[in-house]
Amino acid sequence: MAAPLTSTGSTAAEHRFFTAMTLAILATVFVGFSRSFFLRPMFPDWPAPHEAIFYVHGAVFAGWIGLLLVQTALVAGGRTDLHRKVGALGALLAVAMLILGTVGALIAARRATGFVGVPVPPLQFLAVPLFDMVLFPAFVALALSYRRRPQYHKRLMLLATIVLTTAAIARWPGVLELGPPAFFGLTDLFVVALAIWDRRVLGRLHPVTLWGGAALIVSQPLRLVVSGTDAWLAFARWATGLLG
């Protein structure tokens, strides 16, 4: 087992790690949504939703990741005072993402064609994004409650953002065809990277990495189990019916 890093240089290494993770997430999202959002004019024939809410959601989502990168840079630069002030914007973005993500998922699920490019009955597939919309605000709320404990706060914010990468990864070329083991498994590589970092720096898994990572990973097969049940399908019909 590698020895934990000493305090000398460990702070700089930590900043580099969390910055690298954020950049990796940014690249992941860009690749996944390049044809349907970021580079849409270059791919006019690529299947994409026609409802405006999905493009608003995409812009807010991109803003969230951009803000995470800015916040990481502020901490690295010693501007924790500004980091805390900007954090209020993050809370507002999180609320907007929860609303847009939930409503967008319900809109897609009630379409006759279902989710774009997904060969699964829409009410059944609805479990995938709605579980994300439970985990994401839970991690963000916990992160805000631990904002004075940086090691907890930064890991919870990172996990909240990792939750959102599954949708992008599923849109990588060839991934959706491989099914849930592919897009969930690739998502979990971010959790694995965080766990490896913890082992290297702390000599153990940080509680957030252990329990938060476990919650995310366990939720993945749970969605698949739940999604085909009569209870879930009844809930999905009720939820989509709320939109009128």
Over residues 198-241, the pLDDT tens digits come to: 999 999 999 999 999 999 999 999 999 999 999 999 999 999 99
pLDDT computed for residue 159 by the predictor: 98
Give residue 1's pLDDT. Answer: 41
User: Average pLDDT over the chain, rounded to whole?
Assistant: 91
Please give the pLDDT value at position 8.
Answer: 43
By mean pLDDT, which of 81-90, 104-113, 162-171 is the weakest? 81-90
Cβ-contact 154, 162 below 8 angstroms? no
Long-range contacts of 211-220 (CB under 8 A, 24+ apart): 212/139, 212/155, 212/156, 212/159, 213/159, 215/135, 216/135, 216/159, 216/162, 216/163, 216/187, 216/188, 216/191, 217/188, 217/191, 219/131, 219/135, 220/180, 220/184, 220/187, 220/188
Backbone Cα Rg of the chain? 18
- Distance, CA of 28 to CA of 244 (rounded, Å): 35
CA distance 103 to 187: 23
- 147-192: pLDDT as tens digits: 989 999 999 999 999 999 999 999 999 998 999 999 999 999 999 9
pLDDT at 6: 47
| Domain parsing of the chain, residue ranges | 13-227
Q: Which residue has the tokens 């698949």?
A: 224
Does pLDDT of 77 surpass 90? no
Q: Which of 15-19, 141-145, 211-215 has the lowest mean pLDDT?
A: 15-19
What confidence score (pLDDT) does residue 210 get?
A: 98
Confidence check: pLDDT of 7 > 70:
no
What separation in angstroms does the CA of 151 have from each of 11, 39, 210, 215? 11, 36, 13, 18
CA–CA separation, 155 vs 61, rounded Å? 19
Residue 81 has pLDDT above 60, yes or no: yes
Cβ pair 114, 124 in contact under 8 A: no
105-117 average pLDDT score: 91
47 confidence band (pLDDT: 50, 70, 90):
confident
Under DSSP, is residue 204 helix (H, G, I), strand (E, B) or coil? coil
Tokens of 223: 């969605």
**Long-range contacts of the stretch 199-207 (C-beta < 8 A, 24+):** 199/1, 199/2, 200/2, 200/4, 200/5, 201/4, 201/5, 201/10, 201/13, 201/14, 202/4, 203/1, 203/3, 203/4, 206/151, 206/152, 206/155, 207/152
pLDDT bucket at 3, cuts 50 / 70 / 90: very low
